[in-house]
Amino acid sequence: MDLRSIFATNLRRLRHDKGLSQEDLAYTAEINRTYVSKLEKGVTYVGLEIIGKLAEVLDVEPSALLELPAKKKSRGK
């Protein structure tokens, strides 16, 4: 998984956890909704300033948007 994909997955998950639409997130973070959509699809790179704005609205540390997903535990038999 590359960093854009990790960021996209985390952004989408955190936004859903907060019950926000892309439009609500974009409006509150003062960024373009189309840009949020592109970030969630992993088709564009994000800048540090935007990471900060999104993290603030989502009430998380900026690093939460770049955290690797937890590895799933394998089921032993």
75 within some domain: no
Q: At 37, which amino acid appears?
A: S
What is the tally of structural domains in the chain?
1
- 75: region left, alpha or beta (phi > 0 left; psi from -120 to 50 alpha): beta
User: pLDDT tens for residues 22-69?
Assistant: 999 999 999 999 999 999 999 999 999 999 999 999 999 999 999 997
Q: How confident is the model at residue 7 (pLDDT cuts 50, 70, 90)?
A: very high
- Judged on CB neighbours under 10 Å (0-12, 13-18, 19+), 75 is exposed
Q: How confident is the model at residue 70 (pLDDT cuts 50, 70, 90)?
A: confident
Q: pTM here?
A: 0.87
- Looking up residue 55, the CATH number of its domain turns out to be 1.10.260.40
Q: How confident is the model at residue 13 (pLDDT cuts 50, 70, 90)?
A: very high
pLDDT at 74: 56
Which residue segment(s) compose the domain that 38 sits in? 3-66
Q: Are 33 and 43 in contact (CB under 8 A)?
A: no
